[in-house]
Chains A and B, each alone.
Chain A
Amino acid sequence: MRAAVRHALPMIAMTAGVVALQLVISAADRQFYMTQLVMALYYTIVVMGLCLVMGYAGQVSLGHGGFFALGGYTSAILTTRNLAAHLRPETLQTLERIGLLWSRTDLYGAPLATLAPWPAFVAALLLTGAVALILGFPALRLKGHYLAMATLGFGLIVYRMLLGSAFTGYADGITGVPPWRLAPGVTVSGAMDNRIVNYYIACGFLLFVLWFLRNLTGSRHGRALRSIHDSETAAKAMGVNTPRLKLQAFVISAVLAAAAGSFLTHFNGGIGPSEADAMKSVRYLTLVAAGGMANIWGAMGVSLALTFLSLRGVFGVYDHAVFGGLLIVIVSVAPNGPGRWVADLLRRRRPTVRSSGAAAEPAT
């Protein structure tokens, strides 16, 4: 029981923090922060998912911008493409009754029937999962940086395709994506009077991801992932099916990115090709490194703070430079993450304790 409480404590504290932040922002009359805050929350979910691949499975992905875009665009296309002309009225009615389809009229009063956000969301996750499986299957069988190369290529292709095809709206992307009603009174949309609700939706999603990743990394599978990072040969010798485990982590991570992309697309009412820009993927990677690699809390904190500041425009024209510079500093000064670096600094200052063994032992 005590252990269960201790395990739940961080989650409870996080929930309290979420509520406190909302109250502070409302009390300070800074509601306009909410929009960027919600966006930062969704981007942070991508970073946390990437943390699983980089920090735990020890693999580099440069395609998470692409996965995010794949999720967002799939939702955007499926919920805006008009099916009214392609389907018979009876079929439309049946599909609408079972909740797959959503009929309304467009700006000019013409009939508009699109897929509902829920099935579009599911399709986005399935499509992204399948793509990640196809990318990761060959790349993760081999030792080395094949996944980094495969995902880099994937990201570049997605970006070019989004920019170059009429289907995805060229450089403009897709607009007019409808709000997503999750439950009565709970709708993913960017409407002004809906900001607080959306803050809680995004926080709820983030907390779910945090809970899920914490359980996963603390489990037997999470330990096996860490062991692959430590010594792949030894992990194999212990009976870990290493290619399969790495692939599972990669697919989960890609699907989380797609889910975040889908939510943010409904929140913003649209999506553009810049989401798949290689710079975005590099930014996610930087944030994982800055958070301390195998540190989901670190990735979450650093990502929320920096992404929020970046979206508020605090870094101005130096926006890209800030993240690029951060990556260089992390890699050269604190490759184990800033947290470890600070801890090492502190330890060096403190007088060293003699008798290494016993002193390092916690009194348990």
Chain B
Amino acid sequence: MLRIRNLRCGYGNLEVVHGASLHVERGEIVGLIGANGAGKTSLLNAIMGLLPPREGSIELDGVSIARQPVWHGVAHSLVLVPEGRQLFSAMTVADNLLMGGYRNPDRDQAIAQALDRFPRLRERWRQPAGTLSGGEQQMLAIARALVARPRLLLLDEPSMGLAPLMVKEVFEVIAELRRKGVTVFLVEQNAMAAFGVTDRVYVLETGDIVMEGRPDDLLHNPEVKRAYLGKGFRNVWE
């Protein structure tokens, strides 16, 4: 569904992704893990078209989308939940969801479904998004993306800054998306949590993809253990 070859992008003179290649197949949930500053957000933004790629190709369903305007991708159901949520904080929950459906003609129906899944948002309907709790904000960010009816959903660190219970909730939502047939490309620093839901994982290190594998295999890879899982990971995992 998504195929990236030799992608390079950066800011000014600084190149932060040095020729990354990866692919995500239909119905798959693929993870991308890496340390702070590895270039994960830059890579996602390049896929969306928010950051123009310098070299390489990005194909969605076999059609090149590199250098296309962002709205073009959104109109083709490529949807991003940005890092740090990026809600419209002065606007109401209602307006945020309506904005999620900006390119979706069936937004009313999609909003009704999103509200059934996240009933708390219905209670907060007329409240400015900025006044929601962190967990509610993340739910709104995901709900807003779902209103766009994504076929490929890009998630940038959805567990960032959330309490463990909320993290669990976020990953439950991702697991549900799989059942609905939505393809997901998930960026996470919380490698442990990402391993729980993904089919395949890429490891990005300072702008290079250094590893690819099934979560089970990566879990037992000593290098991954050392770099991304820390000491006490076994306790959390089991």
Question: Which A residues contact B (CB, under 8 angstroms)?
Answer: 220, 223-224, 226-227, 229-231, 233-241, 356-357, 360-362, 364
Contact = CB atoms under 8 A, between A and B. Distances in A.
A72 B91 CA distance: 38
Contacts of B50: 233, 236-237
B145 to A, nearest CB: 9
Contact of A234 (B86, B98, B103, B126): B86
A237 B48 contact: yes
Given A233-B50, A237-B70, A241-B69, A227 B88 contact: yes
20 contacts: A223-B95, A223-B98, A223-B99, A224-B99, A226-B91, A227-B91, A233-B50, A233-B82, A235-B88, A235-B99, A236-B70, A236-B71, A237-B86, A238-B74, A238-B103, A238-B144, A239-B74, A360-B127, A361-B124, A361-B126
Contacts of B127: 357, 360-361
Contacts, number: 77
Nearest to A356: B131
Most buried by A among B48, B70, B131: B70
Interface string B96-132: 0011101100000000000000000001111100010
Most buried by B among A220, A234, A235: A234
Most buried by B among A234, A235, A238: A238
A364 B126 contact: yes
A230 B102 CA distance: 15
Nearest to B90: A230
A268 to B, nearest CB: 41
B80 interface: yes
B46 interface: no
A120 B105 CA distance: 40
Nearest to B100: A238
A361 B99 CA distance: 22
A230 B91 contact: yes
B126 A227 contact: no
Pairs A-B, 6 closest by C-beta atoms: A239-B74, A234-B86, A239-B103, A230-B88, A239-B71, A238-B102
Contacts of B89: 230-231
A230 B90 CA distance: 7
Contacts of B194: none
Contact of A237 (B80, B91, B124): B80
B148 interface: yes
Given A230-B91, A231-B86, A364-B126, A238 B69 contact: no
A238 B150 CA distance: 11
Given A237-B80, A239-B70, A220 B102 contact: yes
